[in-house]
Structure 1
Amino acid sequence: MKNDKYQGLHIFAISFILCYISILGACTPAQNSNNFAAEDSTASEAIRKINAEITQKPDNPELYYRKARIYYNELKAEQAYSNIENALHLDSLNAIYHFHKGEILFALNKTKLSSKSFEKAVALNPDFYDAYIKLGELYLIVKEHKKSLACFSKAQEINPAEAKPYFYKGMNFKEVRDTANAIISFQRATEIDNSYFEPHLQLALLFAAKKDKLALQYFNAALKLNEFNPDALYARGLYLQEQGKFDEAVKDYRTLLSVNKDDYRAHYNIGFINFLNKKYPKAIENFSQTIMIYPEYTQAYYMRGLCHEAVGKQQEALNNYDYALQLDSTYIKAIEGKKRVGK
C-alpha cells in the first residue's frame, strides 16, 4: 500500500510537471512579451493602437504582421524583426510573412538570411510576383546573375505586362557586358511603361558609351520624366561635353548644381570646359571649388596647376603638381608638369 501511495504521488507529480511544460509551450508571443511598457516609450500612435488590439487578440498573427509593417515603415528594423517572428510563430506557412521577414532582414544587412526568407515565400506561393522580384534584386546585388535572371524570367511568366522584370534583366545583362541583350530588355521595359525613368537612363548610358546619337534621345526622355535627376543631368552634360557642345553641357552642370551645390563632378567639368576655352581664372575657381568639396581629387590639383602654368604662375603650378603627387606619386602628368616648370 505504501508503495502504491508513493507511486500515485509520483504519477501525479509527473503529470503536473508535464502539464506545466505544455502550458509554457503553448504560450503565445503576446503572453511571453505582453509587457508593452518595456517597448520604446516614444512609440508611435500606430504602435500603441496595435498593442491594444494585440492585448485583446494575442493569438492573431495578422496583428503581429501589421505591427512589424509599422515598425518597418518607421525604419525600426530590429523591432520589426521581433514582431514578424511572432507572426511566424503563430503561422509559419504564410508566404507574405516570410516575404516581409526577407525585407526586414535585408534592411538589417543580412542578405543571406534575407534570400532564404524570399525563397521560402516563393516555395509556399509559386506565383508570388513580388517575392521573385525581391529575390532577383538580391541575387543581382551579390552578382549571382544566372539566379537573378531566372527569378525575373519567372516574374515575367507570372505578370508579363509588368516592365520591372525586363528592366532588371537588362541590369543583369549590362553587368555581364551583354550590351545587345541589355538594350533589348531596357527597350522592352520602356515599351511596356513609357513613364519608367530608369530604363530610359540606362539606354542613354549604353548608347552614349557606343557614341551613338540615340543617346541624346534617351537622355531627353529620361529628363522629361525626372528633370532634376542628378545622374541623368551629369551624364547628359558629359555626353554633350564629349560632343563639343560646351554651352549645353554647362547648362546641365549648372542645373545639377542647383540641385546639389556640392556635386564636385559638375564643378570639375565646368572647370575643364573653361580650361579648354582658355578662361583660366574661371577654371581655377572651378577647380578650387572641386578641391574644397573633394580634397582627395588628384586630377583637380593637376588641372589647377595647369591653369596656373598657362598664366605664368610657376610657383602656384608647382605647388599644385606637388599636391597631386602627394596623393598619387605615380601620376605621370603631374611629374611632367614639375619638369616643365623647371623644378
Structure 2
Amino acid sequence: MAGFLVSCQSDARNATRIPPTPSEKLKSNWQKDAIDALTNNIRRKIDLDNSYFKRARIYFENEQYDLAINDINDAIENKDNVGDYYLLRGQVNRELNNLDAALQDAQRAEALQQVSPELYILMADILQEKKRFREAQNYLNRSLQMAPYDGSAYYVKGMLQSRIGDTTASLGSFKQAIDLNPRLLRAYQQNIIINNRLGNLNNALYYNNLALKRYPKDAILHFERGQFYNALNKSDSALLSYNKAAALDPKLTEAYFQSGSIYLKWKMHDAALKAFEKVKNNQAEYPQINYLIGVTLERMGYDDRASEFYKMELEKSPENQLAYAGVVRLQRREMGQYSTPSAREPAQPSAPTRILDTNRVQIRTIQPRRSIDMGTDTTRKVIIR
C-alpha cells in the first residue's frame, strides 16, 4: 500500500494507470483499497487531478457513472490540458447518453494529440448515433486497424450495418461484440431489438437471458423479458418479470401499467388498482390511466369514485367513448334502471324459478326400430362351385 501511495503521487502523464491487481486479492477488494487510497490523496490534496482521474476510471469500470462524471469533472477543473481526461469524460457522457457533450470531449481529446483505438471507437459510436455514417466508418476503420479484437468496435460495426438495413450482418457483428466483450450491454440490447423486430422471439429471449446473467439488476432487461412472455401468452411469467422490473426501477411506469393490465384481466382488482395508481403517480398524463382506474373501481363496487375518474378522463379526452359509456352506465345504475352486483357486496338471491309439474307430463317409452322382412329375391340365381 505504501508503494501504491508513492505511485499516486507521480506525474499524471507518466503514471495514468491504476496499480496492478495483487494476485492474492479479488478485484473488488483491490478496487476498494485503491478507492480508499485515492480518497486519502484527494483529502490531502496530493497529485489532485491524477487522483480524481484514477478514481473516476474505477467508478467507470464499475458502471457508477454518476460518481465517475463528478470525479472526472474535478480532474479537468484542476488540469484542463490532458487528453486522457477528456477521453474518459467522453466515454462517461456516452454511457449517460449525453451525446453532444461526449462528442465535444472526444474532439478535445483528439485535439490534444490523443491517439488510441478507444478514442476512435468513441468517435465512431457517437457519429453513427448522430447519423454521420461516413465519418463514423472512417473512425471505425482506423480503430479496427489498431485493435482488431475490440468488442466495442464490432458493436459500432453492427450499428452501421443495421442502419443500412443489413440485419443479418449486423446480428453477426453484435454476436462477435458479445463474444469479445461479454460486458457490452448495448450489444445484447441491439441483438434483442433486431430479433424481436424480425419475430424471432426465442432468439430475442435467449439474448435477454444472457444479458440478465451479466446484469441481473437491469430493470429494462426484466421489462423486455416480460414483453416476450406476454407475446408468447405466458402471462404468469410476464407478470413476474414486470414486477421485478418495477422493484428495481420504481420510475419504470410501463412496468406498472403492464402488471396492472394482467391483474385486471385476472380480476385481481386490489392489485390492479395499486399498479394503476403508481402509474398515475409517476405519470399523471399516461394515456387512459384515469379510465382504467375507473373501470377497476367500478368492478370493486366503488361507483362514486369510479365516476370521478371517468369524468377526469373525459375532461382530458372528450372523445373517449369508453369513459363516456362508463359515466352513463353508472348514472343509470344510480337511477335504478339496472343494477350489477358488486365485488364488495354479496350477490342478491335470484328470483325463484318456475318448477315444472311432472304429473302433467306424459312420458312415452321410445320403441326400438323393428326390422322389415323384404322377402327373398327369387330372380337371382345362386351359383355354388
TM-score (norm 2): 0.60
Partner of 2:285: 296
Alpha-carbon distance between aligned partners in 1 of 2:78 and 2:138, rounded to the nearest angstrom: 31
- Shift of the 310–112 alpha-carbon distance from structure 1 to 2, 3 Å rule, reads same
* Aligned match for 2:85, one of 70, 79, 100: 100
Aligned to 1:247: 236
Q: CA deviation at 1:174?
A: 4.6
| Residue 207 of structure 1 pairs with residue 192 of structure 2 | no
Aligned CA RMSD, in angstroms, stands at 3.5
In 2: Cα distance, 1:218 partner to 1:283 partner: 30
Which stretch has the larger CA shift, 264-273 or 192-201?
A: 192-201
Residues paired across the two proteins, number: 274
Give me the whole-angstrom Cα distance separating, in 1, the residues matched to 2:296 and 2:39: 57
Tell whether the 8 Å contact from 2:75 to 2:85 is kept in structure 1 after alignment.
Answer: no
Q: CA deviation at 1:279?
A: 2.9
Of 51, 76, 81, 1:81 maps to 76
* Counterpart-to-counterpart distance in 2, 1:228 and 1:64: 34
* Correspondence list, 1:143-158, <5 A: 143-158=131-146
Query: Which has the larger share of helix?
Result: 1
Residue aligning to 1:57: none
Q: Provide closer, same or farther for how the CA distance between residues 319 and 335 of structure 1 changes in structure 2, counting only shifts above 3 A.
A: farther
Q: Does the Cα contact within 8 Å between 2:84 and 2:114 map onto a contact in 1?
A: no
Counterpart amino acid of residue 216 in structure 2: E
The DSSP-based 3-state class of the residue aligned with 1:302 is: helix
- Asked whether the equivalents of residues 190 and 200 of structure 1 are also in contact (C-alpha less than 8 Å), the reply is yes
Instruction: Return the alpha-carbon distance in structure 2 between the equivalents of residues 176 and 47 of structure 1.
Output: 48
Q: How far off its partner does 1:313 sit?
A: 5.3
Deviation track 1:247-288 (CA, whole Å, cap 9, x = no partner) reads 111111222234234533222111111122233343223212
Report 1:146-185 matches (<5 A).
146-174=134-162, 179-185=167-173
The verdict on how the C-alpha distance between 1:182 and 1:310 changes in structure 2, with shifts beyond 3 A counting, is: farther
Q: Could you report, residue by residue, the CA deviation over 1:207-241 in whole angstroms, capped at 9, with x for unpaired residues?
A: 12332121121111111222221111000111111
The question of 1:66 aligning with 2:50 is answered yes
Q: Is the 8 A contact 1:68 1:79 kept in 2?
A: yes
**Which of these two proteins has the greater Rg computed from alpha carbons?**
2
CA distance in 2, matches of 1:173, 1:324: 44
Counterparts of 1:340 and 1:67, CA distance in 2:
64
Give me the whole-angstrom Cα distance separating, in 1, the residues matched to 2:264 and 2:194.
28
1:81 alignment partner AA: I
Q: Counterpart of 1:231?
A: 220
Task: Tell me the distance in 1 between the aligned counterparts of 2:166 and 2:314.
Answer: 38
Ranges in structure 2 where 5+ consecutive residues have no aligned partner: 1-37, 58-67, 332-385
195, 206, 211: which one aligns with 1:222: 211
Specify the alignment match of 1:268 in structure 2. 257
> Aligned partners of 1:209 and 1:242: how far apart in 2?
12
What residue is the counterpart of 1:337 in the other structure?
A: 323
Q: Is 1:117 the counterpart of 2:96 in the alignment?
A: no
1:198 aligns with 2:186: yes
1:322 aligns with 2:311: yes
Distance (whole Å) between structure 2 residues aligned to residue 163 and residue 112 of structure 1: 20
Distance 2:51 2:278 in 1: 48
TM-superposed CA distance for 1:340, in Å, is: 4.8
Aligned residue type for 2:50: R
Cα separation, 1, equivalents of 2:120 and 2:195: 29
Distance in 1 between residues matched to 2:76 and 2:205, nearest whole Å: 46
Of 310-319 and 195-204, the range deviating more from structure 2 = 310-319
Gap regions ≥5 residues in structure 1: 1-42, 52-62, 89-96
**Take 1:267 and 1:44, find their aligned partners in 2: how far apart are those partners?**
40
Percent of aligned pairs sharing the same letter: 18
Matched letter for residue 338 of structure 1: Y
**8 A contact 2:56–2:72 mirrored in 1:** yes
Provide the C-alpha distance between the structure 2 equivalents of 1:299 and 1:247, rounded to a whole number of angstroms.
Answer: 24
The letter of the residue matching 2:147 is N
